Amino acid sequence: MSSHQRLAEIHIAQARSRALRLFAFTSSVFPGEWSNQWIETIVPDLVEFAFHARKVNEFCGLMDHPFASIDVKLVSISSGDPGKWETSYRNALNALMHMRSFTVGNAHSDHRRIFLASEANLITLYIRVSTDKFPSATISIFGLVNCFLNEVLPQVRIRYPSFAF
């Protein structure tokens, strides 16, 4: 096995692990009182995911692959939509790698109230990113990891059937 293949496999495994964690976080309802701890858990996973996913694109020759739009959300935002939703998987990864400031966006999960005594039942939807190189963007976290799990990984399997992941 070449070192190139092994590095690619390491990045794939790390990105997939973070993608699955992020999917779990963005499809779970949490009480508003946990917001700070919730965000402190999501952001490092998101940064690590972006790094490894971008390396997968580089190692596997997917930098210019036309992936589907990532502006997919699990729930609709009824009010306070931040706008400027990023549609490009590649641009979203680049924005996350170059971010200088961010805001994690949650929505009220009134359709799935679980914590009845809580101030709010929330679900994490997006990260709003400002960078040093790109315009500000709103990135659907679910859309980003959905693209990786359902489009990037199948492309890697097609191109590199000998990769173990």
pLDDT per residue, tens digit, the chain (165 aa), is 799 999 999 999 999 999 999 999 999 999 999 999 999 999 999 999 999 999 999 999 999 999 999 998 777 776 778 888 999 999 999 999 999 999 999 988 877 788 889 889 999 999 999 998 888 899 999 999 999 999 999 999 999 999 998
How far out from the chain centre does Cα 117 lie? 30
Among candidate residues 28, 9, 7, the one with its CA nearest the CA of residue 121: 28
Give the pLDDT confidence score for residue 79 in this predicted structure.
73
Give the pLDDT confidence score for residue 122 in this predicted structure.
92
Give the pLDDT confidence score for residue 132 in this predicted structure.
85
Give the pLDDT confidence score for residue 65 in this predicted structure.
94
What Cα–Cα distance (Å) separates residue 165 from each residue in 6, 54, 81?
10, 17, 37
- The single-letter DSSP state of residue 152 is I
Give the pLDDT confidence score for residue 74 in this predicted structure.
73
Residue position matching structure tokens 């694109």: 57
Give the pLDDT confidence score for residue 114 in this predicted structure.
86
Helix (H) or strand (E) run with residue 16 in it? helix 3-26
Give the pLDDT confidence score for residue 135 in this predicted structure.
82
Show the beta-strand stretches assigned E in the chain. Answer: 30-31, 99-108, 121-131, 137-140
